Chain A
Amino acid sequence: MPEFNWTLRGRCYKLGHDVPHPGGVIPAFYITARETDPAVLVPHLFEETDPGFHTRSRPGDIIVTGRNFGMGQKGAGYIAMQALGLGLLCESMSMQAYRAATAEGLRVLPRCPGVLEMCETGDDLEMDFLKGHLVNHTQNRVADFEPVPVALRELIEQGGNAGWLAHWQRTVGAQEQARGEARAGT
């Protein structure tokens, strides 16, 4: 397996404060319909505020948001972000929004105070999620934030909950199962 890329370099896509998940990130319909297919979701990312976003975004681009990102029902938008290879830096986001984002394997930092002020849409950003180090090459500025916690690194490296579960089954689950069957004499 190739080494996981913890550093993203790409363009900044800047949003404001209090952007809700339904509507602000992806139309509510796809959330309530529990749509999980990236192919279906990608064309609708930021559709209500910036139609065609997906045609302009490139892998490595970084979404930078203000406070309280992603309130409300959530999930589908992070699937689309992950499919597009994007990263996410928020001044703040709720724990449940953070959970939903990491469950999809998104490279995300939920506590980046001041990040909004030091970036503009289109800036050339380089973010090391493992160190929490951000370089804004356009503005020649740097900042350090809390990195991805050690306890969650494997989850992100395995591409989120589904990937992590498969990894767990290969490395731990299968052995546990074999031990259990040996005990049961089957």
Chain B
Amino acid sequence: MGYTAIEKVLGRTSRDPAHRGGVRAGTLLYPEPDMVMIHDALVKEAKREMDAAGIARVHNPDKVLMVSDHDVLYGSARAAERGAFNRKTAQTWQIKNFYDAGQGGHGHIFPMESGLVLPGMFYFDNDTHSTNAGAVGAFGMRVGNEISRVLGTGTTWVTVPRTVQLKLIGKLQEGVQARDIGFYMGREIKAKRLAFDLDYRILEYGGDLDQLGFGARVALCSTATEMRAAGVFVPPSGAILGYCRKHAKRPFEPVYSDADAEYDAVATIDLSGIEPQVVLPGNVSNSADIAESLGTAVDHAFIGSCGSGMYEDMLSAASFLKGRKVAEGVRLFIVPGSERSTKRMLADGLMQIFVDAGAMVLPAGCGPCNDAVVGPLASGETSISTSTNNNTGRFGPKDARLFLGSPATVAASALSGKITDPRGVSQDAALKLAMETAYA
């Protein structure tokens, strides 16, 4: 019996030499991570916990990537204080890879774009959305507050997750995007038509994946994470490996599951049958074909987050917004995933398109998706966004209605002021074409 990708990666990093070739699901072990990541919202708590234990230094500062993405604008005095505390901590801990506000962008996007997270890697992260690493065939594992233990001692315990495989067959219809696949999967699991339990599983994709670019692969990681997956694994294509080689800041070795690896479950989705999806308020698994919510008036729209903050997503939004205006009464926030993307948006003219359309472009990071530290809703308002989830109260008031859609659906809806099928809205052909080579 062969091993799955996660079983191989955790085997490689295990402190137990007997695990070297691979380690079976269910085994409890202490891996030596290739990297440790912590974001701005948890540095203070981790520092306090380590200080209380008398641990003044980080086990291996060179392995640590500290990012500021959850709150980069400091909309309150409290946020500014936290930022100052984080800067001081980075200095005390001698963290070289500290990407402060305005420097890197979203911690689950820019490290992949800039060759810090690479195929076959394993790292610990305090945050759930570390699963994004699967877009390049790496594994980031969330340990929450226990990141203090990893920072202080170099590791913590992990139980090797089981893996489920979802094969994507066929081609997406025009106007349907990778986020729609995730939303559709969520609804199929909820309806029990897809016999998957994602809780602490690795969701491995298979099938016709070569058609999916970097941004689409990132989008594929989102919904499963909200459904409690421990990780996502998109076997890296030749194109992805090419990009990673070009930008790699360290050597890497891609890992793939063996042909006879043991999966918890295997299922197939026919991509050609998927309509644009809109997730109805309350939970990411509340998805339905867009027909069900067409015409719903919206006050607020947002394109970004770790699920849709790649350059392809920016290009997609721009292809709809070019030469048009956001509807009266709608505020549209655009949040690129990285400073790198912000610069490209300036160079490529996307920034002009967004500003001309009346959209508000925020600095790279989580944007409103971090519990609306920026861009919240008022009571009774309605939003459509590419956020990671639409749990009640995520954007502030509990009575606000939060819909989710793909970047195309959100852009089309922001233009009309109501939930709109992107298939009926024309796109700028050159920008649409540019999506295919966004990460060439």
CB of A165 within 8 A of CB of B55, answer yes
CB of A161 within 8 A of CB of B149, answer yes
Give the chain A neighbours of B50 by CB distance below 8 A.
Answer: 165
Is B228 positioned at the interface, with any CB of A under 8 Å from its CB?
yes
CB of B200 within 8 A of CB of A94, answer yes
CB of A173 within 8 A of CB of B55, answer yes
CB of B57 within 8 A of CB of A166, answer no
Interface size class of B (residues with CB under 8 A): 20 to 34
Is A34 positioned at the interface, with any CB of B under 8 Å from its CB?
yes
Is A95 positioned at the interface, with any CB of B under 8 Å from its CB?
yes
Give the chain B neighbours of A32 by CB distance below 8 A.
Answer: 371
Is A24 positioned at the interface, with any CB of B under 8 Å from its CB?
no
Is A96 positioned at the interface, with any CB of B under 8 Å from its CB?
yes
Give the chain A neighbours of B153 by CB distance below 8 A.
Answer: 165, 168, 172-173
CB of A99 within 8 A of CB of B143, answer yes
Is B381 positioned at the interface, with any CB of A under 8 Å from its CB?
no
Is A100 positioned at the interface, with any CB of B under 8 Å from its CB?
yes
* Residues of chain B in range 138-165 having any CB-CB distance to chain A below 8 Å: 142-146, 148-149, 152-153, 157, 159, 161
CB of A99 within 8 A of CB of B144, answer yes
Is B230 positioned at the interface, with any CB of A under 8 Å from its CB?
yes
CB of B157 within 8 A of CB of A151, answer yes
Is B45 positioned at the interface, with any CB of A under 8 Å from its CB?
yes
Is B54 positioned at the interface, with any CB of A under 8 Å from its CB?
yes
Q: Which residue of A lies closest to B128 (CB)?
A: A96
Q: Which residue of A94, A166, A172, A173 is within 8 Å of B199 (Cβ)?
A: A94
- Taking A100-B144, A165-B50, A168-B153 as known contacts, 18 extra A-B pairs with beta carbons closer than 8 A to each other, sorted by chain A number, are A32-B371, A95-B199, A96-B200, A103-B144, A149-B28, A152-B28, A152-B157, A162-B53, A165-B55, A165-B148, A165-B153, A166-B53, A168-B53, A168-B55, A169-B55, A169-B152, A173-B152, A174-B54
Which residues from chain B sit less than 8 Å from chain A, CB to CB? 28, 30, 45, 49-50, 52-55, 57, 142-146, 148-149, 152-153, 157, 159, 161, 199-200, 228, 230, 371
What 9 pairs between A and B have smallest CB-CB spacing? A165-B53, A95-B200, A166-B53, A169-B54, A169-B53, A94-B199, A151-B28, A169-B55, A149-B28
